[in-house]
Amino acid sequence: MQDITGDGGVLKEVVRTGSGELVPRDASVLVKYSGYLEYMDKPFDTNRYRRSSRLMKLGKEITLWGMEIGLLTMKKGELARFLFMPHYAYGTLGCPPLIPPNATVLFEIELMDFLDSAESDSFFALTAGQQDMFPLQKVLKVADTERQFGNYLFRQKHFMDAKDRYKRASLILCRRPYSEGEQSQIDAAKLLVFLNLSFTYLKLEHPARALMYGEKALEIDERNAKALFRCGQACLSMSEYEKARDFLIKAQKEQPFNHDINCELKKLASCYREYMDKQKEMCCRMFARLRLPSAEPKVKTFSPQQLKWTD
């Protein structure tokens, strides 16, 4: 095993290599891990069997010193084993009752993904005036980091938290005017954020807001099939069938063989038929109540005694 601290405190063995850049300091990481004590087959701590993992920030949410040092040597997709000596793990006291004093522990760690949030964190620590002085490329990077956080939260079905991240990215991109040369880059970034916000509001069952952000995306790219599709979905949710049809037909024109668009058009046709049937049934009931009762005259009958003449 490779000595990565120089004092034998953390030893590393690469099981599967990763790709890309090393994890930067202050990043938020998505990891799968299992920790083992010597002579034990079962882990004393693992998150491999959890249905969903969460991003953890280095220096704050990862408290094991050896694990943080080890993660800084890893790349995305890498799987490695680490041996942590006591002073890089749980120390002289251990962590009773699971971890005995002065325990050397083995951790198997898989780096699924990471997000470099250092610039984003420093950006939001500044005043509004200082933020406006940031160069374009740094603004774009901060906005993209926020969008990537939103994407991660969206995949975990934390739609409210994802929406907040996307809104932060939107505010960064819309807060100040840019030159004509810069605007195309800003518009490209805004388009992605508006599409994400539209989809997120659909998941949150706020179709009016979804439509608003879909239309903002169309202001940037009027032929964007995804934006047209989102607007069509929002209008269908609000039972605005004609508007939904207009948006979806335009989306289909841009992408004729898109399965989702064609399915949404079929759904629209079905919803519209149900709507018309209900309208017809309601009209029939309304007119039934207005019908007058039968006006046929009643014929009075008499008994023979009543028809007998008297003197």
Question: Residues 172-197: pLDDT tens digits?
Answer: 898 878 888 889 999 999 999 999 99
- Report yes or no: 53 and 32 within 8 Å, Cβ to Cβ: yes
Domain of residue 220, CATH code: 1.25.40.10
**Would the pLDDT of 205 be above 90?**
yes
Q: Quick one: which H or E segment has residue 264?
A: helix 259-290
Domain of residue 30, CATH code: 3.10.50.40
Residue of 188, 179, 216 lying closest to 201 (CA atoms): 216
The mean pLDDT of 277-305, rounded to a whole number, is 60
pLDDT at 302: 47
Per-residue confidence at 37, pLDDT binned at 50, 70, 90? very high
Q: State the angle between helix axes of 180-203 and 207-220 in degrees (0 to 180), rounded to the nearest 10.
A: 160
Boundary of a domain, candidates 62, 82, 116: 116
Determine the Cα–Cα distance for residues 254 and 286; give it in Å rounded to an integer: 43
**Would the pLDDT of 311 be above 80?**
no
pLDDT at 287: 64
Task: Please tell me whether residues 34 and 154 are part of one structural domain.
Answer: no
Structural domain including 255 reads: 119-287
In a domain, 300, yes or no: no
Cα 301 to the center of its chain, rounded Å = 81
**Would the pLDDT of 307 be above 60?**
no
Range with the poorest average pLDDT among 48-52, 84-88, 172-176, 223-227 = 48-52
Task: Please tell me whether residues 184 and 43 are part of one structural domain.
Answer: no
In a domain, 29, yes or no: yes
C-alpha dihedral, 56 to 60 to 64 to 66, nearest 10°: 90
Indicate the burial class of 39 (C-beta count within 10 angstroms; 0-12, 13-18, 19 or more): exposed
Output the average pLDDT for the chain.
87
pTM recorded for the entire structure? 0.70
Q: State the angle between helix axes of 225-237 and 241-254 in degrees (0 to 180), rounded to the nearest 10.
A: 160
Q: How many separate domains does the chain show?
A: 2
Boundary of a domain, candidates 116, 151, 181: 116
Task: Please tell me whether residues 63 and 171 are part of one structural domain.
Answer: no
Task: Please tell me whether residues 104 and 220 are part of one structural domain.
Answer: no
pLDDT at 169: 94
Task: Please tell me whether residues 126 and 84 are part of one structural domain.
Answer: no
Count of CA atoms in the C-beta half-sphere (13 A) of 123: 25
Task: Please tell me whether residues 152 and 43 are part of one structural domain.
Answer: no
Task: Please tell me whether residues 50 and 153 are part of one structural domain.
Answer: no
In a domain, 309, yes or no: no
Angle made by CA atoms 191, 121, 158, in degrees to the nearest 5: 60
Task: Please tell me whether residues 129 and 109 are part of one structural domain.
Answer: no
Task: Please tell me whether residues 222 and 266 are part of one structural domain.
Answer: yes
Task: Please tell me whether residues 137 and 278 are part of one structural domain.
Answer: yes
The mean pLDDT of 269-296, rounded to a whole number, is 67
Task: Please tell me whether residues 36 and 180 are part of one structural domain.
Answer: no
**Would the pLDDT of 132 be above 90?**
no
